[in-house]
Chain A
Amino acid sequence: MTAVLEKEPAVKPGLIDPRQFRSSLSDALRKLDPRVMWRNPVMFIVEVGAVFTTVLSIADPSVLAWTITVWLWLTVLFANLAEAVAEGRGKAQAAALRAVKQDTVAYLRDGRELPASQLTLGDIVIVEAGQIIPGDGDVVEGIASVDESAITGESAPVIRESGGDRSAVTGGTKVLSDRIVVRITQKPGESFVDRMIALVEGANRQKTPNEIALNILLAALTLIFLLAVVTLQPLAIFAKAYQTAAPDTAAIDAHGVTGIVLVSLLVCLIPTTIGALLSAIGIAGMDRLVQRNVLAMSGRAVEAAGDVSTLLLDKTGTITVGDRQATAFVPAKGVDLEDLAGAARLASLADETPEGRSIVALAGGEQGPMRGATFVPFTAQTRMSGVDIGDRQIRKGAATAVMRWAGKPDVAIDEIVDRISSEGGTPLVVADSDRLLGVIHLKDVVKPGMRARFDEMRRMGIRTVMITGDNPRTAAAIAEEAGVDDFLAEATPEDKLAYIRKEQRGGRLVAMTGDGTNDAPALAQADVGVAMNTGTSAAKEAGNMVDLDSDPTKLIEIVEIGKQLLITRGALTTFSIANDIAKYFAIIPAMFAAVYPGLDTLNIMRLHSPGSAILSAVVFNALVIVVLIPLALRGVRYRPSSASKLLSRNLLIYGLGGVVAPFLGIKLIDLFVQLIPGI
């Protein structure tokens, strides 16, 4: 497990900041507007019910009527609050991103000066040292070091230059040195940050496909319960007329069940819990992505991430450390291992490349310059590096180059070099003046913990595929070591695209990461395409997510976030539906036991009175929303495992828990509620 994987999110999930809470509260009140409520059919029905009971309470006031009315309004308010809190957290994060973009002045090449927000696609702007880049774009001229910490949190500056794969710059980042000319590639209001903000703001949020499907089910359930409650009235009137001796109660009289109680029954039966939390769950899912510095272009992509069954992972930087590491010294015949290691160490002391450092680490000793020594750096021409100490000249480098330099080919060394190559390693030959000392075995090192991670993926039903430019033999060796399911060797962008298409034809969803312009077609074809922020704008345009940290390993986390989002939705839906059982047992005897005393048998919770039973059910129904807000925001705990294990675990907690919890909760509330005079 690398440090990146364990990185703490910027905002602790589930945490609600008191100041933010106050603004959420006023947002929640504003959302009571029926035009806004209409978007959520379940809660809209509750609001209509609350209005209705308010009218009834004014016409015929009683403690019970008013208490129920207040709790119905609270139910609506709690639902709005859940959404407002989720939005607030998302907005806080998005605002931090957006803050840096505001007040930026764009200096166009034609001499005009514009606020950054008025830039249009294709504008050419000049950014000099100390200035903020006004929008997303490509460097068309010049080279500069850029501080991208505003969006990535990484303090080390990065180089951006025209042409090639490092030409993309992001709006809001700061040029530290030099001067670049940038062509703006974003339409106003459509930058990644803008789109991300739209995804976490409830009002304009597009519902995701699965959310729409779930909303249909919830609307159907609401409709069916509405029907069950409305059609109950003629039957209740008939029953009351038949039992002439039955006394009128708070729940039923000659006109049938009272409006207050009918609305209470309806609100308790319709799936208010999930209806209230559904949009908060969606927003919080997006928010969890932002916390991990991933910007998604659409909610659809996040959902698709949960469904991914094939992950294409670049070998370098994702599966392997990315830099070759020295793993062994192989001395030539008649040379001591000590001598070889010592020479290799000396040659690498001043070599600050990861390879050089790994050689020193393997030989034992501290990195650092040595007095009286002259470092000979690596060049593309010499293809070796080394050190001159007095008259000793030590060199390490590509086999052919070093041997030519030493002036004598060696068959034994050649054999070692060939063996290392065939094992997928890279040989570095070490020579001390004209003496060939031996070979350093450099190897692509698989990141620690990757194997376990891939096993985990396999248990989740996800195939991992390693993409590499290596030859098939080397690729096979590394694939075997890393434990991936498949590999694509000597992969060209066309190969990647073909592989994705092949998987998709089999009905599988594919996720991949990429950064180069040549990755763009594959990124566009993949169901989840995560572009690296350091990549070209073509790549970012083609993908549906951007990782600001440019960490390809993030793909695995994105899949987990997608799954967690769906699980949270399913768990709370199950919980909400399971809750109904107890509510029937609370309300039905309360409504009708006065007419048919035998129905009191159904009052298995032994609730105090019809009034207290109905009120307790309504109060429970409202409070459970509040209790579950943190869960909706944080997401259900997710540990990668097989579908059947996940199902049994979640069904036990949220299904069985959903059946049992309201029996206890309603009974408990009843113990308090019965103390209110007039109930």
Chain B
Amino acid sequence: MAGWLFVLSLAAAIVAVYKPFGDHLYRVVTGTRHSAVERGVYRLVGVDAGAGQSWGVYARSVLAFSAVSLLVLYLLLRVQDRLWLSLGMPAVDSHIAWNTAVSFVTNTNWQAYSGESTMGHLAQMAGLAVQNFVSAAVGIAVAVALVRGFAAREAGTLGNFWVDLTRITLRVLLPVCAVATLVFMVGGVVQNLSGGTDVTTLTGGTQHITGGPVASQEAIKELGTNGGGFYNANSAHPFENPTTWTNWVQLFLILLIPFSMPRLFGRMVGQNRQGYAIAAVMALLAVGSIALTVAFEIHGAGTVPEAVGTAMEGKETRYGVTNSAVFAAITTLTSTGAVNSFHDSYTALGGMMPMLNMMLGEVAPGGVGSGLYGMLILAVITVFVAGLMVGRTPEYLGKKIGARQMKLASLYFLVTPALVLAGTAAAFATGNAATALNTGPHALSEVLYAFTSAANNNGSAFAGITVNTPWWDTALGLAMLFGRFLPLILVLALAGSLAAQRPVPESAGTLPTHRPLFVGMVAGVTIVLVALTFLPALALGPLAEGLS
């Protein structure tokens, strides 16, 4: 009952903010006025805020910005011991620093380290938290550029990356985070610069309890679908996520931007119903996935779950099974990767669902920005296959889907499965999978999960494998890097090719892309073309374990 209330109130809240928040996003990215602070930023970076960028320039700006971010974060982690607020932490090992820098710049937040024993406050605040903001803004900016491509008439430019980046950070992420931080502090999340307290426990031992700027980091961790926790235990830690209602707020923040992006899309292409259709596909897949995850966990198969009536292992009693399962589903349906329970301990099939969510390409609703552009690519592919069935060469929102568009869209959906499957196979072929603590199908699931999470920029872990070895740090780092930037370049190239086109006016002969039939088709294509690709691998992991 409480579980139902939790889910339904969350859904109702997301539905309620769809319009107002989506409209706010629309105004932010389409407005013509620059605030004084923004003008200052543009002067500092040296950009002409009024100048549009072609897709190539836009892409180079994204890459240049991310490269600098990567370098700065890497250096910060390598020298944190010589800076303030290090709390006496040593410099981060080179391979962990590389992995972590890539992880946060790519909005993945895969954590090959344990926060409270590796990072000082400065590294957390000036390094990781900053990337939490800007990597989220980069994702949204790229999605906006793609939407501009659909909306444009014979245009050569896709807007200005620096303006998008600045505005999204200053007008969307920062204000919402400021409010959310206060809410979390009210809820009991810690927020201080304390170096930690040593306490004597009831049993007489001593324990070092770390404090820090947790609430502020928690806000952007969820809002930016980043997922990198201040503590190793992430959202299961009572200092990060103390109560059921802070848990609710966390999920709300995770879903807020991804589910509002379709509204922005609908507004920008001048047809709100197109936004509703995309939101509907996302909701359809999300509801199905959440329901299955919860069902698998509540009616958990296996010796222990059957004995106690449900699968409680690895879950916090303060959330219970439903709220944990919902969190697991949502954190992987988006590209968040925050966890409030231990996915590795889920029932075999329940643990397969987070994997499957990521394998879908994180499109329901996906990461901030990346969810929308991933979904639009799927819509393009659906239009191409199904659009032919109405007797016209395919078009989406008046833009023809020809050879170039198909080449870019096809490459896009090749990238992540290629990284996941090649990475997993390489781990087994090279013997690196042996670092898994388990054996058999569960070990396979753990390795498959790790690469799925990295390549899709999710960042959650099944855990159970020792990943802070140079091989794993490098392999997963590359998976994150390619998994983020290859699709991103392809999306911008697609945006460029769409923007240059003259739209075909809609008529009775046009494939309607806002009706339930099309919504169902996109969902179907997503499942058949994307999810089923992984079925052979899943058969040897969670399916083998769950169906025995």
Show the binding face of A for B, using Cβ within 8 Å: 209-210, 212-214, 216-217, 219-221, 223-225, 227-239, 242-243, 265, 303, 306-307, 309, 458-463, 505-509, 562-564, 566-567, 569-571, 573-574, 577-578, 580-581, 584, 588, 591-592, 595-599, 601-602, 638, 642-644, 646-648, 650-651, 654-655
Inter-chain contact A570/B544, CB cutoff 8 Å: no
Inter-chain contact B536/A265, CB cutoff 8 Å: yes
Number of A-B contacts (CB under 8 A): 223
Nearest CB in chain A to that of B515: its residue: A644
Inter-chain contact B425/A234, CB cutoff 8 Å: yes
Inter-chain contact B540/A563, CB cutoff 8 Å: no
- Select one of A227, A232, A239, A588 contacting B441, CB under 8 A: A239
A623 to B168 alpha-carbon distance, docked (Å) = 55
A662 to chain B, nearest CB (A): 13
Inter-chain contact B517/A651, CB cutoff 8 Å: yes
* Given A309-B504, A577-B385, CB of A221 within 8 Å of CB of B529: yes
B252 to chain A, nearest CB (A): 35
Inter-chain contact B393/A651, CB cutoff 8 Å: no
- Select one of A209, A228, A647 contacting B402, CB under 8 A: A209
Contacts of A220 in B (CB 8 A): 410-411, 413-414
Q: Is B417 an interface residue (CB 8 A)?
A: yes
* Given A570-B385, A581-B528, CB of A506 within 8 Å of CB of B393: no
- Select one of A213, A236, A506 contacting B406, CB under 8 A: A213
Inter-chain contact A461/B509, CB cutoff 8 Å: yes
Contacts of A231 in B (CB 8 A): 421-422, 424-425, 537
- Select one of A214, A233, A505, A638 contacting B425, CB under 8 A: A233
* Given A306-B393, A643-B510, A646-B389, CB of A596 within 8 Å of CB of B540: yes
Contacts of B428 in A (CB 8 A): 234-235, 237-238
Inter-chain contact A234/B429, CB cutoff 8 Å: yes
A463 to B505 alpha-carbon distance, docked (Å) = 12
Inter-chain contact B543/A599, CB cutoff 8 Å: yes
Contacts of A307 in B (CB 8 A): 392-393, 504
* Given A231-B421, A647-B511, CB of A570 within 8 Å of CB of B387: yes
Nearest CB in chain B to that of A509: its residue: B504
B426 to chain A, nearest CB (A): 8
Contacts of B547 in A (CB 8 A): 596, 598-599, 601-602
A566 to B443 alpha-carbon distance, docked (Å) = 47
Nearest CB in chain A to that of B420: its residue: A231
Q: Is B178 an interface residue (CB 8 A)?
A: no
Q: CB-defined interface of B39-58 with A at 8 Å, one 1/0 digit per residue? A: 00000000000000000000
A651 to B390 alpha-carbon distance, docked (Å) = 10
Inter-chain contact B510/A461, CB cutoff 8 Å: yes
Inter-chain contact B406/A566, CB cutoff 8 Å: no
Inter-chain contact A643/B512, CB cutoff 8 Å: yes
B509 to chain A, nearest CB (A): 3
Contacts of A562 in B (CB 8 A): 391
Contacts of A597 in B (CB 8 A): 548
Inter-chain contact A216/B391, CB cutoff 8 Å: no
B504 to chain A, nearest CB (A): 4
Inter-chain contact B505/A566, CB cutoff 8 Å: no
Nearest CB in chain B to that of A574: its residue: B385
Residues in B386-434 with C-beta less than 8 Å from chain A: 386-394, 398, 401-403, 405-407, 410-411, 413-414, 417-418, 421-422, 424-426, 428-429, 433
Q: Is B508 an interface residue (CB 8 A)?
A: yes
> What are the nearest 8 A-B pairs in CB distance?
A570-B388, A461-B509, A563-B391, A461-B507, A220-B410, A598-B548, A598-B547, A231-B425
Contacts of A571 in B (CB 8 A): 388-389
Looking at A213, A598, A646, the one whose CB has the most chain B CB atoms below 10 A away is A213
* Given A236-B540, A646-B389, A647-B517, CB of A309 within 8 Å of CB of B505: yes
B472 to chain A, nearest CB (A): 16
Inter-chain contact B424/A567, CB cutoff 8 Å: no
Q: Is B287 an interface residue (CB 8 A)?
A: no
Nearest CB in chain B to that of A578: its residue: B528
* Given A209-B403, A461-B508, CB of A567 within 8 Å of CB of B544: no
Contacts of A461 in B (CB 8 A): 507-510
A-B contact pairs, 30 of them (CB 8 A): A213-B405, A217-B384, A224-B413, A227-B417, A227-B418, A227-B422, A228-B534, A232-B425, A234-B429, A235-B537, A237-B428, A242-B441, A461-B510, A566-B392, A567-B388, A567-B389, A569-B388, A570-B386, A574-B386, A577-B529, A592-B540, A595-B544, A597-B548, A643-B391, A643-B508, A644-B511, A646-B389, A647-B517, A650-B389, A651-B389
Inter-chain contact B392/A563, CB cutoff 8 Å: yes
Contacts of B386 in A (CB 8 A): 570, 574, 647, 651
Contacts of A651 in B (CB 8 A): 386, 389, 517, 521
Contacts of A584 in B (CB 8 A): 532, 535-536
Inter-chain contact A507/B444, CB cutoff 8 Å: no
Nearest CB in chain B to that of A573: its residue: B385
Show the binding face of B for A, using Cβ within 8 Å: 381, 384-394, 398, 401-403, 405-407, 410-411, 413-414, 417-418, 421-422, 424-426, 428-429, 433, 439-441, 443-444, 502-505, 507-512, 515, 517, 521, 524, 528-529, 532-537, 539-541, 543-544, 546-548
A595 to B541 alpha-carbon distance, docked (Å) = 12
Contacts of A460 in B (CB 8 A): 391, 508-509
Inter-chain contact B392/A507, CB cutoff 8 Å: no
Inter-chain contact A588/B535, CB cutoff 8 Å: yes
A336 to B381 alpha-carbon distance, docked (Å) = 73
A233 to B425 alpha-carbon distance, docked (Å) = 8
Contacts of B422 in A (CB 8 A): 227, 231
Contacts of A588 in B (CB 8 A): 535-536, 539
B444 to chain A, nearest CB (A): 6
Inter-chain contact B389/A647, CB cutoff 8 Å: yes
A227 to B414 alpha-carbon distance, docked (Å) = 10
Contacts of A223 in B (CB 8 A): 414
Contacts of A602 in B (CB 8 A): 539, 543, 547
Nearest CB in chain B to that of A503: its residue: B505
A564 to B429 alpha-carbon distance, docked (Å) = 49
Nearest CB in chain A to that of B543: its residue: A599
Inter-chain contact B536/A213, CB cutoff 8 Å: no
Nearest CB in chain B to that of A658: its residue: B528
Nearest CB in chain B to that of A223: its residue: B414
Contacts of B543 in A (CB 8 A): 598-599, 602
Contacts of A506 in B (CB 8 A): 505
Contacts of B537 in A (CB 8 A): 228, 231-232, 235
Nearest CB in chain A to that of B501: its residue: A507
Inter-chain contact A242/B388, CB cutoff 8 Å: no
Inter-chain contact A654/B389, CB cutoff 8 Å: yes
Inter-chain contact B517/A644, CB cutoff 8 Å: yes
Question: Beyond the given A216-B403, A598-B548, could you list 8 further A-B residue pairs with CB under 8 A, ordered by the A residue number?
Answer: A214-B388, A235-B424, A238-B444, A265-B536, A460-B508, A602-B547, A647-B512, A650-B390
A508 to B502 alpha-carbon distance, docked (Å) = 10
B493 to chain A, nearest CB (A): 14
- Select one of A235, A237, A509, A567 contacting B391, CB under 8 A: A567
* Given A309-B505, A566-B392, A643-B509, CB of A242 within 8 Å of CB of B439: yes
A643 to B533 alpha-carbon distance, docked (Å) = 31
Nearest CB in chain A to that of B527: its residue: A581
B147 to chain A, nearest CB (A): 19
Inter-chain contact B389/A574, CB cutoff 8 Å: yes
Contacts of B517 in A (CB 8 A): 644, 647-648, 651
A135 to B509 alpha-carbon distance, docked (Å) = 41
Nearest CB in chain A to that of B530: its residue: A224
Inter-chain contact B424/A224, CB cutoff 8 Å: no
Inter-chain contact B502/A213, CB cutoff 8 Å: no
Inter-chain contact A507/B389, CB cutoff 8 Å: no
Inter-chain contact A224/B414, CB cutoff 8 Å: yes
- Select one of A229, A459, A598, A647 contacting B390, CB under 8 A: A647
Contacts of A238 in B (CB 8 A): 428, 433, 443-444, 540
* Given A309-B504, A643-B390, CB of A216 within 8 Å of CB of B410: yes
Inter-chain contact B390/A212, CB cutoff 8 Å: no
A444 to B546 alpha-carbon distance, docked (Å) = 77
